[in-house]
Amino acid sequence: MNPHWRKILVTLLPLFLLAGVVGLIGGRTVGIAILAVVLTVMVAHQIYNLSLFRTWLASPRMETIPEGSGIWQHVFSQLRRMKRAQAQTEADLKEALTRFQKAGAAAPEAVVFLDQDNHIQWCNPRAKDYFGLDPHRDRGQQVTYVLRQPQFVDYLASNDYTNPLTIRMPLGGNADATVSVQIVSYGDHEKLLLGRDITKWERLETTRRDFVANVSHELRTPLTVLGGFLETLTDMTEPDPDMTRRSLRLMTQQAVRMSRLVEDLLTLSRIESTVALPKEDPVDIEDLLDHLHQDALALSNGRHAIALHVETSDALTGSADELRSAFGNLVSNAIRYTPEGGRIDIRWASVDGRPVFSVTDTGIGVAPQHLDRLTERFYRVDRSRSRETGGTGLGLAITKHVLSRHHAKLDIASELGKGSTFSAVFEPEQRVPAHH
Ligand code: ADP
């Protein structure tokens, strides 16, 4: 039997039985009267509770769900439970939405949701910076109406979004930024449009390409020279001892130049590939300075007056090997760019609590327009002078890199024709005070 019918039967049957029994004992009228009274009470109870329910439905709030009585008590408590679960779900959804919107707002990328007809459904605040979209004003707008670049319009129409689109446009303070635009299809022909600033990566990529081109170029010249001599020597029918000796000497020079370049490249790559300093020990600076001085005297070979001034007994923490190479480059530059008879002063001092290593020369100096670029790889003011003196164009790049790993900066003061001072200025934290 249908459970609802059974319920009716179970409720009403005892009542009718009771009325029947009473009727048998006290007569039919009494039986019917009892039945009428009980039925009336039951109907009244139902109407009362239904009315409570109806009143509540007019403004169905959790707190005002009535208590009810009898079977209704059960109904209302069930309702209360459902309401509570619903409120919880709502709160969860709201939280998820807030979280999503916060993430969207914080994302460094532009995020735009498009419907199947490319109308803007939602976009994050970043989309304003990138595409000039207004999250409120442009909702429902056709995206190509706001983003009109022909490249983008074609990309959107192509329906092939495997690769992102790269466009150049003004962004933030940069008039010529590179932006990667990618469309991702999802759901029912809906689209997600993402915009990302890749200017930095583009620049890195250009630097990398330039670097490879520069290295190849630097190696090609000596190789061409070597190749030329080898060809001449091979083609000689009658070996000319003088010519052979001269050729071999020049070939050796080129080989030395190539190995110096490779040496510098390896140094650069070594300091670039290790993030942390190899050793953060106190450096025996006195010993290091002495060695530098000796090397300088040997390199100058009596052509310059070279003096070492140790004005503080403070030492440094860091990597002795790297510092030797950084300081050594400054000293060797001073010698190489100072004509015979010039002066070179190597100084170790403490200025306002900062350890400073400096090299002052009375050499050819550098014109102001070149100063900012001297530490770029392969940047040279005078290419042939640098080559003649055995330069690779990487010395100052190495120095700058080492110094930045030691929290120091390179200061350059120079006057064309008068001379230069290259100073490595360290942070006070790198200083190891002398023991007295
Ligand atoms: P290089 O191997 O060419 O010397 P560096 O990176 O050491 O490469 O230096 C870059 C350029 O800076 C040099 O080519 C030179 O033009 C300039 N320079 C460096 N040191 C000095 C100096 N003491 N006096 C004049 N010019 C210098």
Q: Of 386, 388, 398, 416, which is best to mutate to test ligand 1, by the most ligand atoms within 8 angstroms of its C-beta? A: 386
Note the pLDDT of residue 373. 93
Note the pLDDT of residue 413. 96
In 3D space, the residue among 293, 290, 298, 410 whose CA is nearest the CA of residue 356 turns out to be 410
Note the pLDDT of residue 236. 85
- Is the Cβ atom of 364 under 6 angstroms away from ligand 1? yes
Q: How far is the CA of 375 from the centre of ligand 1 (A)?
A: 9
Residue 167 · residue 179 · CB < 8 Å: yes
Q: How far is the CA of 354 from the centre of ligand 1 (A)?
A: 25
- Is the Cβ atom of 329 under 6 angstroms away from ligand 1? yes
- Is the Cβ atom of 330 under 6 angstroms away from ligand 1? no
Domains and CATH numbers, the chain: 3-90 (no CATH), 107-197 (3.30.450.20), 205-273 (1.10.287.130), 282-432 (3.30.565.10)
Q: How far is the CA of 392 from the centre of ligand 1 (A)?
A: 9
Note the pLDDT of residue 279. 63
- Is the Cβ atom of 264 under 6 angstroms away from ligand 1? no
Q: How far apart are CA 149 and CA 126, in angstroms?
A: 18
In 3D space, the residue among 263, 251, 191 whose CA is nearest the CA of residue 224 turns out to be 251
- Is the Cβ atom of 360 under 6 angstroms away from ligand 1? no
DSSP class of residue 125 equals T
Residue nearest to atom 2 of ligand 1 (CA): 391
Q: How far apart are CA 42 and CA 431, in angstroms?
A: 95
- Is the Cβ atom of 412 under 6 angstroms away from ligand 1? no
Q: How far apart are CA 168 and CA 181, in angstroms?
A: 10
Note the pLDDT of residue 435. 67
Q: How far apart are CA 417 and CA 37, in angstroms?
A: 124
Q: Which strands, in side-by-side order, build the sheet including 120-123?
A: 120-123, 110-114, 190-197, 174-186, 165-171
Q: How far is the CA of 337 from the centre of ligand 1 (A)?
A: 7
- Is the Cβ atom of 334 under 6 angstroms away from ligand 1? yes
In 3D space, the residue among 347, 351, 354 whose CA is nearest the CA of residue 310 turns out to be 347
The one-letter amino acid at 103: A
Residue nearest to atom 3 of ligand 1 (CA): 393
- Is the Cβ atom of 382 under 6 angstroms away from ligand 1? yes
- Is the Cβ atom of 335 under 6 angstroms away from ligand 1? no
For the chain, 436 residues long, give each residue's pLDDT as a single digit of tens: 788 899 889 888 988 898 889 889 988 898 899 889 989 999 999 999 999 999 999 988 888 899 888 889 999 999 999 999 999 999 999 999 999 888 888 888 999 999 999 999 999 988 988 888 888 888 999 999 988 889 999 999 998 999 999 998 888 778 888 999 999 999 888 999 999 999 999 989 988 898 899 899 889 988 999 999 999 888 888 888 888 899 899 999 999 999 999 999 999 988 888 777 666 788 999 999 999 999 999 999 999 999 999 999 999 999 999 999 999 999 999 999 999 999 999 999 999 989 999 999 999 999 999 999 999 999 999 988 888 888 899 999 999 999 998 989 999 999 999 999 999 999 998 888 876 4
- Is the Cβ atom of 31 under 6 angstroms away from ligand 1? no
Q: How far apart are CA 331 and CA 328, in angstroms?
A: 5
- Is the Cβ atom of 361 under 6 angstroms away from ligand 1? yes
